[in-house]
Amino acid sequence: MGLRLPGPACPQQSVGVTKVPFLDLRLASEELESELLEATARVVRSGWYVLGAEVERFESDFAGYVGARHCVGVGSGFDALHLALRTMGVGPGDEVIVPANTYIATWLAVSYTGATPIAVEPDPGTYNLDPRRIEDAISSRTKVILPVHLYGQTASMGRICEIARHHGLLVLEDAAQAHGAQWEGRRVGCLGDATAWSFYPSKNLGALGDAGALTTDEDEIAHQIRVLRNYGARTKYENTVKGFNSRLDEIQAAVLTVKLPKLDEWNARRVAVAESYLRQLADVPIVLPEVATGAVPAWHLFVVRCRQRDELRAYLAAEMVETSIHYPVPPYRQGAYRAGGWGGGELKISDAIHQQVLSLPMGPHLSEEQVDMVVAAIRRFLAKLEPVTGESEP
């Protein structure tokens, strides 16, 4: 059955303030304003700005939070991925298994080591790496499996680790969207061999600028990352390997130390938003997020799927509901990879997902009233879809 799409109810409404922003980062900063100002002032007055007591404190707090033996602060999520791959011995000629659908940073981290990202299609229900497809992608060059806990939904870590062990591979998790997510009762952060974190401001745990970290139980990985993040220096001015400059700075560490104790509460508010969407949209013809058995998601994003995605998005924008798309174009169709260097042909599941996904407003500071407004606007859009006669389902 074909559908005729409604136009926006009242286009002139789009002029003015957004009623439901996609994510308003000011609200998190407002909630913690005095603590954040106090923490940054402490650093300003300390006279020590890179790799000091604040970084050590946050590393210890965050390792404790995720239940890993080590946490090493670095400059960004990308750096955490890139440096972790290097400590795992990944380099030119090697292959790393990555999800076909992820933010391009996951792929770029592999490419920057000189290795090739090998794309594996997702489970279309959870959007996460489909363990049933991983073994076909393993070759004699494969070194690492790199699952992403996309949208804050935990990937099937049990099965992924089993496959890795069976083939002698390491597992590096991209947990940039999964602070506080769990898998079978354990927090993401010590499930595979190492876990890369981003604290980009919009993440569930976000700094006031760029920041990242790696958590791991492996002493050697942690040690090597500490060396690589600081010009390859084991001790000052003793540069044993060609390292990088990717250090977590004291101000960001101090900010993250203030925000970490709030993470569970903020995630609980995300759960409430997600549950409200799931309950109120259960009977409408859009695809809602599916939570895998064993997973407790961090609800970084609330992603629905709709054939008329672009029309729905335009309609919601006119109703002053701001949405986003994660992501409009899969990495393999980006200019950066179009010329090849990723090892495969067409990725049909990812293509379809990218054409249909829409991220609804989501965050700890979204009010119940705002959630209800989003739901009502979606319902109005869907109610106006008129069946077009004489057209058949493609």
Ligand X SMILES: *Cc1c(COP(=O)(O)O)cnc(C)c1O
| Contacts with ligand X, residue ranges (CB under 6 A) | 76-78, 102-103, 105-106, 148, 174, 176-177, 198, 200, 210, 212
End-to-end CA distance of the chain: 8
**Strand ranges (E), 115-198:** 116-120, 142-145, 170-174, 182-183, 186-187, 194-198
Answer for the pair 225, 102: CB distance below 8 angstroms, yes or no.
Answer: no
Whole-number minimum distance, CB 104 to ligand X, in Å? 8
Based on CB atoms, which residue is closest to ligand X, 174 or 319?
Answer: 174
Least distance from ligand X to the Cβ atom of residue 78, Å: 3
Answer yes or no: are the C-beta atoms of 215 and 205 closer than 8 Å.
no
Q: Choose between 83 and 377: whose C-beta lies nearer to ligand X.
A: 83
Nearest distance from residue 324's CB to ligand X, in Å? 12
Q: Which is nearer to ligand X, 54 or 79 (CB)?
A: 79
Residue 23 neighbours by CB distance under 10 Å: 19
Q: Taking every pair of C-alpha atoms in the chain, what is the biggest distance, in angstroms?
A: 76
How would DSSP label each residue in 104-126? HHHHHHHHHTT-EEEEEPBPTTT
User: Please, what is the minimum distance in Å from the beta carbon of residue 16 to ligand X?
Assistant: 31
| CB of 72 vs ligand X, minimal distance in Å | 15
Which tokens in the block code for residue 148?
A: 């992403």
Of the candidates 266, 253, 261, 152, the one whose C-alpha atom is nearest the C-alpha of residue 211 is: 253
| Shortest separation between residue 107's beta carbon and ligand X, angstroms | 9
Nearer to ligand X, 216 or 308 (CB): 216
Distance between CA 216 and CA 195 in Å, rounded?
6
Closest separation in Å from C-beta 377 to ligand X? 26
For every residue of 298-328, DSSP letters joined together read: --S-EEEE-TTHHHHHHHHHHTTB--B-S-S
Taking the least distance from each CB to ligand X, the nearer of 177 and 308 is: 177
d(C-alpha 391, C-alpha 387), whole Å: 9
How would you classify the pairing of strands 142-145 and 95-99?
parallel
Query: How does strand 70-74 pair with strand 233-235?
Result: unpaired
| CB-side neighbour CA atoms (13 Å) of 229 | 28
Nearer to ligand X, 77 or 192 (CB): 77
Task: Give 246 or 323: the residue with its C-beta nearer to ligand X.
Answer: 246
Report the nearest approach of ligand X to the CB of residue 320 (Å). 26
Task: Give Cα separations from 131 to 104, 141, 151, 205 (angstroms).
Answer: 20, 19, 18, 28
Q: What is the smallest separation between the CB atom of 390 and ligand X, expressed in angstroms? A: 44
Torsion from C-alpha of 54, 58, 59, 60, nearest 10 degrees: 110
CA contacts within 13 A on the Cβ side of 162:
6
Q: Which is nearer to ligand X, 77 or 289 (CB)?
A: 77
Closest-CB residue for ligand X? 77
- Is the CB of 210 or the CB of 217 nearer to ligand X? 210
> Cβ 75 to ligand X, closest distance in Å?
8
Q: Which is nearer to ligand X, 103 or 183 (CB)?
A: 103
